[in-house]
Structure 1
Amino acid sequence: MLLLNPGPVTLSQRVRRSLLQPDLCHRESEFFDLQDEARQRIGGVYGLHSDEWASVLLTGSGTAAVESMIAGLVPAGGKLLIVQNGVYGERIAQIAAQYQIPHIIVKHAWMDAPDIGRIEAALHSDKGITHVAVIHHETTTGRLNDLLAIDSLCQAHGVRLLVDAVSSFGAEAIDFSGSIDAVAATANKCLHGVPGIAFVIARRTALASATSRTYYLDVLRHAKLQDQRNTPFTPAVHALYALVEALREHSDEGGWTARHHRYGALAGQVRRGLTALGVRELLPQSMSSVVLRAYALPIGLEYVHLHHALKARGFVIYAGQGDLSKTLFRISTMGALETGDADRLIAAFESTLLK
């Protein structure tokens, strides 16, 4: 069964075998060696230096990392502007409300790109804004939001940027040289690890003014203890084994640029095959992530029927969210997938659509 959903992913045999390593106490030096390697390799994905950036490991899903980032790195007295054009932008707004963090939302329809003019107008009119939060790859639609343009706005207005890169880290370009203070991501998407480990990469100057609004997800507490080869709680040890092996594999295969190329080639192969069958991709390639693409459901075909037919042939695809569940489906090309898998997928679609 091949997973074409946006995480968790189909594992390589190399990563799967890493789960069979010995049981390990999280208070032993061998565990801290593993933790140190994970942190070093996470920062190394984008060439970040540990003197300036801290890779902070958390046990939880990608949302745990996003919550930790928002709750911890918008300081007391700060105010957040949230760029919202999908489910995950809405989730950040819910997190901000839960922690009673002052915030405003620049809201867009789910199929729309962020309006840079509206974001700039909001920054210009509200001088209390200290931080902007944005989803890099909004997997609601497969849209890759224009992170560079939003970063440029933040630099021009002297505010800091917090990025949900849960579905882009390790396969899409991220420029850390501008206004980014932190990025939240996870092990089980573009890095090809297993669920259970997430992380925040935070600028150390931002950590210096972090706020402890939460207990378990306190990014500053985790950062301080991990710097001391310690951990505040029991982590997901075997998930960390898998993450370290996945990061080694990621590096061996050529890093994020190679993964970007690999995903792009597979996504293009799928797009061409589905287009030939009359299935329409919803966003132009220039606006889409290589990680996931959204397609229009063929007229008269319900998603449930499509999903079950493809699952019977060995593929798990993903529904649209909210009202989009009636009009689109999504296919991700993350994970241990090859061109032959894409060929078989197109054949499975053909068998389903032409019955």
Structure 2
Amino acid sequence: MSAETKFSPVEGFEPPALGEPYLLTPGPLTTAYAVKQAMLRDWGSWDGDFRAMTADMRRRLLALTGDTKGEFDCVPMQGSGSFCVEAMLGSFVPKDGKVLVLANGAYGLRAAQTMQYLGRAYTLIDKGDYLPPRGAEVAAALDADPAITHVIAIHCETSSGILNPVAEISEAVYAKGRKLLVDSMSAFGAIPLDVNEIRYEAMVSSANKCIEGVPGFGFVIAKKTELEAAKGRSHSLSLDVHAQWATLEKTGQWRFTPPTHVVAAFLEALKMHEAEGGVAGRGARYTKNRDVMVAGMRELGFETLLLDHWLSPIIVTFFCPAHENFAFDRFYGLMKDKGFIIYPGKLTVVESFRVGCIGRMDEHVMRRVVEAARESLAEMNVPDAAPPRTALEERAKLAA
């Protein structure tokens, strides 16, 4: 391996511990030593020290939204990101409300499935895998259905890697007198979601995404007026955002056993996030990771599912090569042997795989990723990673 592709010795970007592979996924992801080490101490969930940690965490997360008027509050919720999306929908959408779900991938469709489970009214705009929902079509859908009270948008749809135009969607929603909910699971902390620039009632994200913590909880950031109005709405005891918020406000404690070690790790990750320059600094590193990796993969013949305009700095979807010797399972194994765990595709139309740009890594690591892909293709006797012509034709047709 050349000197250029060796890992950078930049302080704070150490390689994974104990020979672990890099996780090139949308989370869980590669974390810093300091984040891992923060989990080595046990904490009492009712103890004053842990309550102070929870309060500090909530304050730090609110600061990332740009809320200087005290209009919002942060409510951590145990469980995965999908737990938090369900908690948001079940708590903020009235039982007689109706949601317009904007989908262009698996997570938008999961929001629709959640509404179905909740037994609450919804309608769906499904854009497929290639394109984002746009403000004009959101406005048209709201005009066509006065019963719609809320819209849910996915900030970054990680099944394809598309970054959706949330600001444009927000303008359309509020121009029509409706309310916006945002699933910013894979974007918050690296892509701006400033309440002074993008209007929304509530958003959700997770500990193990762009803040670079570990899995175990997510969080809801919502207007206090919406939190107050949510009393009695939830379909679930454990996913009741109002009840969790009311308990935190009254006692400083979580209602049910919190993931204490995960919270400690997340606080350390938040401090590292701030030291890197906050949202702007984290986003700049991820963008550089993406640009270096995409350029290198394209040199090998790979092509992205999305046109450049819609590529997010979170995760990138690539078409699988058309060459007969290429098999994703073998490619995955060869990449893992070289220290990189990539992500299978999650599309229904074409064969694909994904490479994440987030986690404790920099552009030097991404150059190693490209080199590992080059070596893996050679071992598979795949001289050209170009995708099927039909895949590119389909992308061009839909993009037009």
Q: Which whole-Å deviations, capped at 9, do the CAs of 1:234-270 have from their partners, x for residues lacking one?
A: 0100000011111111011100111110001011110
Pairwise mapping of residues 176-325 of structure 1 onto structure 2 (< 5 A)?
Answer: 176-177=195-196, 178-210=198-230, 211-228=233-250, 229-300=252-323, 301-324=326-349
- Shift in Å at residue 151 of structure 1? 0.2
- In structure 2, the gaps of 5 or more residues are 1-20, 380-400
Q: Distance in 1 between matches of 2:254 and 2:313?
A: 35
Tell me how far apart the structure 2 counterparts of residues 40 and 129 of structure 1 sit (CA, whole Å): 33
Count of residues in correspondence between the two structures: 353
After superposition, the CA RMSD in angstroms is 1.3
Tell me the distance in 2 between the aligned counterparts of 1:94 and 1:286.
Answer: 29
1:15 maps to which of 31, 35, 50: 35
What amino acid does structure 2 have at the position aligned with 1:60? G
Q: Secondary structure at the match of 2:110?
A: helix
Letter in 2 for 1:174: L
Q: In the alignment, which of 325, 342, 355 is matched to residue 366 of structure 2?
A: 342
Report the TM-score, using the length of structure 1 for normalisation. Answer: 0.96
1:296 positional shift: 1.3
Correspondence 1:55 to 2:74: yes
The aligned residue for residue 174 of structure 2 is 155
Q: Is the CA contact 1:43–1:49 (under 8 Å) kept in the aligned structure 2?
A: no
**In the TM superposition, what is the alpha-carbon distance from 1:16 to its structure 2 partner?**
1.1
- The percentage of counterpart residues that share the same residue type is 33
Secondary structure at the residue paired with 2:129? coil
| CA separation of 1:236 and 1:49: change in aligned 2, threshold 3 A | farther
Q: Which amino acid aligns with 2:302?
A: V
Q: Deviations over 1:180-229 (max 9, x none)?
A: 00001001010100000110101111112112221101000111111221
Give the superposition deviation at 1:13: 1.0
Q: CA deviation at 1:341?
A: 1.4
AA aligned to 2:34 is R
Letter in 1 for 2:284: H
CA contact (8 A) 2:66 2:194 kept: no
Output the TM-score relative to the length of structure 2: 0.86
Contact conserved, 1:137 with 1:168, CA < 8 A, in 2?
A: yes
- 1:337 offset after TM fit, Å? 0.6
Which has the higher Rg, Structure 1 or Structure 2? 2
Q: Displacement of 1:322 after TM fit?
A: 4.4
- 2:286 alignment partner AA: Y
**Cα deviation, residue 286, structure 1:** 1.9
Does residue 353 of structure 1 match 2:373? no
Contact 2:135–2:171 (CA under 8 A) maintained in structure 1: no
Secondary structure of 1:152's match? helix
Structure 1 residue 115: Cα displacement: 4.1
Alpha-carbon deviation of 1:353?
1.3
- Contact 1:154-1:179 within 8 A present in 2 as well: no
